[in-house]
């Protein structure tokens, strides 16, 4: 077949493959698209060197060709064809007969359209349609689908179940009889909104079921569009809210009675609140009375025993006094534990945050328990992370209380092995302003059984089989620790194996890192190392033994003591005698200490006089609350002599300011030093050299740690030196130090150690 060049150009411009065949089916022409899609060129086709039609489609192709030759039109045929590369393509085939001028068929033209991708898309659509249909059929709520003419195209089984229509009944039909007449206006508004393409939900209305029953529904609706964005239908979800409406109706039915019920319940709650407030008030008053009534006599016991310890020289008598002091301290610890727990349960205990040096606190804990650990031959390990900041903000008193309890328990219940106290930190943010503090107290002691671990933090609970005679305790320590830790935004946990030991782990969250300097530790004074200038002090207390104790203590530090038995007397005596400072009890008859203080502070002649609150009610009154009442300072009963003297030193002039604790003015061995003829001693240089070369290095080590064994070895060495050179003062100094070690008097041991350089200084000054 011949054709013009224009015809060829036109055919090559068509994107679909085109082939011309003669009457025998031989290929006479193909366009460029045919070669691009199927891979063969015309020469290969002319020589019949191709396999184009799959075998299963050969007969179909012959049948269609016969129809074509009979001048019958072939509708688009979907079939398959091979490419030269052997790939099977889905093809849509259109064919027309070619005739000559006489009308005789001389061939055919076939247009092939590659519909492979179209078939894939159709398959995907069918799969998606089936998936979406499965989803809708699984939905519990009724769903109905309309086309853009409002005819039903689908609804799910839930729709049939609720509204009782079958899809066959309503397919391609309107659902006008589905909507009650009264609901048509709002339904039309809903349709108008929907036609704008707006999705909405929660539209409450009513619909009929097939039997004419009205069903309340909540409607959600949206439209769906074709690829061109044209709306072609809508999907309506109808939630049956019959049950909810029934409940609402019942609520409305009871609504008229609701106010009466609320009033009755409110009255009941108010009565319960009043009873709770009365109970709390009674508990607080009992707590206050308990604290005052127990601490008042205990103040006399501990105060006078401490006073006696400074007056008695006989070691046997001192040991008796030490036993009284120890018993008093144990009783005070027990009272404090009970009162602390009561305060926590009554919501009266507050956490007092301050800037602390945790490393220093840990060293103090190590020194406190060093002797106990040494006596039991237990190794006491301290492990502090290098990341621990120099200063953090926590409640110093309560944290020390926790350490004392946990480490004390570890030593108490460990017979051999070791105890380890470790501190770790987890920095919370880049600016390093907060951290999580992790504290572990580990021991190799008796351990805790699984049953006891469950109750170990409960009040008054102790391990089953624990000997109270051997270990003592009330079972309150861990309970208080747990509560205190929780109040500081932390938690405590325990892991233990019976017979192998325990690990108590504390995590305190969001601890603030402080940039402030740690407050300087106040100077500690004792009766034997401080004298005030002769000034007047007024002691106000309704208990005679308390007044007598303070008279004895204060006269020994060179103060003139005035006394009053109540606040009224205090106001009168202050106005007349103008004391330099006042120690004021809080709870007294006639006029209490708070009332008296307020009167004195309102008087222009007495308002500048410092007033120190002295109270046995510290369990219910915090120091900050007391200071707000107008007091200048605060002391808790039982009074510690060191605390009393330190507080007074803030307001009174000290006669000898250079007097350090444990100064060698102590008459028991200082007199011997003063009376020794050191200037004439021929071996004075040798003694000084020995003290500096053999003992000063040991003394320097004691600045950070004072192991009891090392201190005693140091003291015995000095005693031997004193004996060899007949130095009575050095022998007495050594005996003094050994006595403190043997009696575990850590404070006086430290003060006596601190005196050692002063001895060398005295010897050098005698040498000239």
The 10s digit of each residue's pLDDT in 408-426 is 889 888 988 999 999 999 8
Q: Measured between alpha carbons, how far is residue 239 from residues 38, 220, 242, 332 in Å?
A: 56, 8, 9, 70
Give dist(CA 301, CA 549) in Å, integer: 10
- The gap from C-alpha 332 to its chain's centroid, in whole angstroms, comes to 33
Comparing 663 with 433, which gets the higher pLDDT? 433
Is the bond into 42 cis (omega within 30 degrees of 0)? no
Give dist(CA 688, CA 678) in Å, integer: 11
Give dist(CA 747, CA 584) in Å, integer: 28
Region 219-234: mean pLDDT is 83
**Angle, helix 728-742 to helix 667-675, in steps of 10 degrees:** 160
Q: How confident is the model at residue 574 (pLDDT cuts 50, 70, 90)?
A: very high
Comparing 238 with 432, which gets the higher pLDDT? 238
Among 378, 409, 403, 404, which Cα is nearest to 473's? 409
Instruction: For 357-377, write each residue's pLDDT tens digit.
Output: 888 888 888 877 887 787 788
Instruction: For 542-567, write each residue's pLDDT tens digit.
Output: 988 888 889 988 988 889 999 999 99
Give dist(CA 421, CA 362) in Å, integer: 9
Region 308-321: mean pLDDT is 68
DSSP-based three-state secondary structure for 213:
coil
DSSP strand pairing (434-443 vs 560-564): unpaired
Region 426-438: mean pLDDT is 82
Residue 673: both structure tokens together: 């030093």
Q: Are 540 and 585 in contact (CB under 8 A)?
A: yes
SS3 percent helix, strand, coil of the chain, rounded to 5, is 50, 20, 30
Instruction: For 265-279, write each residue's pLDDT tens digit.
Output: 888 888 888 887 777
Region 720-738: mean pLDDT is 84
Does 27 score more than 60 pLDDT? yes
Burial 457-469 (b: 16+ CB within 10 A, else e): beeeebbeeeeee
- Range scoring the smallest mean pLDDT among 1-5, 100-104, 135-139: 1-5
pLDDT of residue 49: 58
Comparing 654 with 259, which gets the higher pLDDT? 654
pLDDT of residue 546: 85
Residue given tokens 């830790």 in the structure block? 485
Does 591 score more than 90 pLDDT? yes
Comparing 400 with 130, which gets the higher pLDDT? 400
DSSP strand pairing (152-155 vs 143-147): antiparallel
pLDDT of residue 158: 86
Which residues make beta-bridge pairs with 437? Answer: 425, 508
Region 735-746: mean pLDDT is 76
DSSP-based three-state secondary structure for 767:
helix
Q: How confident is the model at residue 4 (pLDDT cuts 50, 70, 90)?
A: low
User: Most confidently modeled of 292-296, 364-368, 439-443, 495-499?
Assistant: 439-443
User: Most confidently modeled of 336-340, 520-524, 619-623?
Assistant: 336-340
CA torsion sign for 441, 444, 450, 456 is: negative
Q: Are 383 and 421 in contact (CB under 8 A)?
A: yes
State the Cα angle at 505 between 504 and 511, rounded to 5°: 140
Q: How confident is the model at residue 594 (pLDDT cuts 50, 70, 90)?
A: very high
pLDDT of residue 580: 94
What percent of the chain has a predicted confidence (pLDDT) above 70? Answer: 79
Neighbours of 148 (CB within 10 A): 15
pLDDT of residue 561: 92
Could you say which DSSP state residue 532 is in?
A: B
Q: How confident is the model at residue 470 (pLDDT cuts 50, 70, 90)?
A: very low
Does 664 score more than 60 pLDDT? no
- Range scoring the smallest mean pLDDT among 28-37, 124-133, 381-390, 494-503: 124-133
Q: State the Rg of the chain over Cα.
A: 51
Give dist(CA 632, CA 325) in Å, integer: 29
- The gap from C-alpha 92 to its chain's centroid, in whole angstroms, comes to 71
Region 616-636: mean pLDDT is 75
- State the chain's mean pLDDT as an integer: 80
Does 468 score more than 50 pLDDT? no
Does 688 score more than 90 pLDDT? no
Does 1 score more than 60 pLDDT? no
Give dist(CA 567, CA 596) in Å, integer: 5
pLDDT of residue 658: 43
Instruction: For 187-226, write each residue's pLDDT tens digit.
Output: 888 888 888 877 778 888 899 888 989 999 888 888 888 7
Q: Measured between alpha carbons, how far is residue 119 from residues 124, 127, 131, 226, 635 in Å?
A: 9, 12, 18, 19, 95
Q: How confident is the model at residue 671 (pLDDT cuts 50, 70, 90)?
A: low
């Amino acid at each position: 077949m011949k054709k013009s060049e224009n015809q060829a150009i036109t055919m090559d411009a068509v994107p679909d493959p085109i082939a011309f065949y003669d009457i025998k089916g031989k290929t006479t022409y193909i366009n460029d698209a045919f070669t691009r899609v199927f891979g063969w060129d015309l020469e290969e086709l002319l020589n019949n060197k191709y396999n184009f039609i799959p075998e299963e489609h050969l007969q179909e192709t012959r049948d269609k060709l016969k129809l074509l030759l009979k001048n019958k039109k072939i509708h688009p045929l979907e079939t398959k064809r091979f490419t030269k590369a052997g790939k099977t393509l889905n093809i849509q085939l259109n064919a027309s007969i070619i005739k000559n001028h006489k009308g005789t068929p001389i061939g055919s033209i076939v247009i092939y359209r590659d519909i492979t991708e179209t078939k894939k898309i159709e398959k995907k659509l069918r799969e998606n349609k089936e998936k979406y249909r499965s989803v809708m059929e699984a939905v519990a709520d009724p769903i109905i689908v309309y086309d853009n003419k409002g005819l039903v195209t689908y609804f799910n089984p839930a729709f049939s179940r609720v509204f009782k229509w079958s899809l066959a009944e309503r397919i391609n039909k309107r659902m006008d009889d589905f909507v009650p007449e009264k609901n048509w206006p709002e339904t039309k508004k809903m349709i108008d909104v929907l036609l704008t393409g707006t999705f909405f939900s929660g539209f409450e209305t009513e619909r009929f079921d097939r039997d004419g029953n009205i069903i309340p529904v909540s409607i959600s609706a949206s439209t769906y569009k074709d690829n061109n964005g044209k709306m072609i239908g809508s999907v309506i979800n109808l939630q049956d809210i019959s049950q909810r409406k029934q409940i609402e109706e019942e609520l409305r039915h009871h609504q008229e009675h609701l106010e009466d019920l609320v009033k009755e319940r409110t009255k009941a709650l108010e009565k319960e609140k009043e009873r709770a407030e009365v109970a709390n008030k009674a508990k607080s008053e009992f707590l206050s009375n308990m604290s005052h009534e127990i601490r008042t006599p205990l103040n006399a016991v501990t105060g006078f025993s401490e006073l006696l310890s400074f007056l008695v020289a006989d070691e046997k008598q001192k040991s008796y006094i030490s036993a009284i002091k120890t018993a008093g301290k144990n009783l005070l610890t027990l009272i404090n534990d009970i009162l602390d727990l009561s305060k926590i349960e009554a919501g009266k205990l507050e956490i007092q945050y301050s800037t602390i040096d945790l490393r220093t606190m840990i060293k103090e804990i190590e020194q406190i328990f060093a002797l106990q650990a040494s006596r039991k031959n237990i190794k006491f390990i301290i492990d502090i992370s290098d990341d621990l900041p120099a200063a953090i903000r926590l409640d110093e008193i309560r944290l020390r209380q926790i350490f004392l309890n946990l480490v004390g328990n570890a030593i108490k219940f460990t017979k051999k092995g070791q105890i380890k106290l470790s501190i770790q930190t987890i920095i919370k943010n880049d600016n390093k302003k907060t951290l999580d503090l992790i504290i572990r107290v580990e021991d190799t002691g008796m351990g805790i059984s699984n049953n006891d671990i469950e109750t170990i933090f409960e009040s008054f609970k102790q391990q089953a089989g624990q000997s109270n005679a051997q270990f003592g305790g009330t079972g309150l320590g861990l309970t208080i620790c747990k509560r205190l830790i929780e109040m500081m935004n932390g938690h405590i946990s325990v892991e233990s194996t019976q017979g192998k030991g325990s690990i108590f782990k504390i995590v305190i969250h969001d601890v603030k890192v402080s940039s402030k300097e740690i407050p300087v530790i106040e100077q500690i004074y004792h009766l034997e190392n401080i004298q005030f200038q002769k000034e007047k002090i007024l002691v106000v207390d309704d208990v005679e033994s308390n007044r007598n104790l303070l008279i004895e203590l204060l006269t020994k530090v060179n103060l003139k003591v005035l006394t009053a038995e109540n606040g009224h007397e205090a106001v009168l005596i202050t106005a007349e005698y103008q004391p330099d400072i006042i120690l004021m009890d809080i709870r007294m008859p006639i006029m209490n200490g708070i009332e008296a203080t307020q009167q004195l502070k309102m008087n222009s002649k007495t308002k500048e006089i410092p007033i120190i609150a002295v109270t046995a009610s510290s369990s219910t009154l915090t120091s900050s609350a007391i200071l707000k009442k107008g007091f200048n300072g605060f002391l808790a009963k039982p009074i510690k002599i060191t605390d009393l003297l330190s507080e007074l030193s803030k307001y009174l002039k000290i006669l000898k300011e250079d007097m350090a604790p444990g100064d060698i003015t102590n008459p028991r061995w200082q007199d011997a030093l003063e009376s020794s003829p050191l200037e004439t001693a021929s071996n004075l240089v040798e003694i000084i050299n020995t003290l500096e070369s053999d003992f000063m290095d040991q003394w320097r080590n004691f600045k950070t740690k004072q192991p009891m064994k090392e201190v005693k070895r140091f003291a015995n060495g000095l005693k031997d030196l004193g004996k060899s050179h007949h130095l009575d003062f050095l022998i007495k100094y050594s005996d003094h130090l050994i006595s403190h070690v043997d009696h575990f008097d850590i404070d006086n041991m430290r003060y006596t150690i601190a005196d050692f350089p002063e001895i060398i200084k005295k010897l050098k000054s005698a040498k000239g």
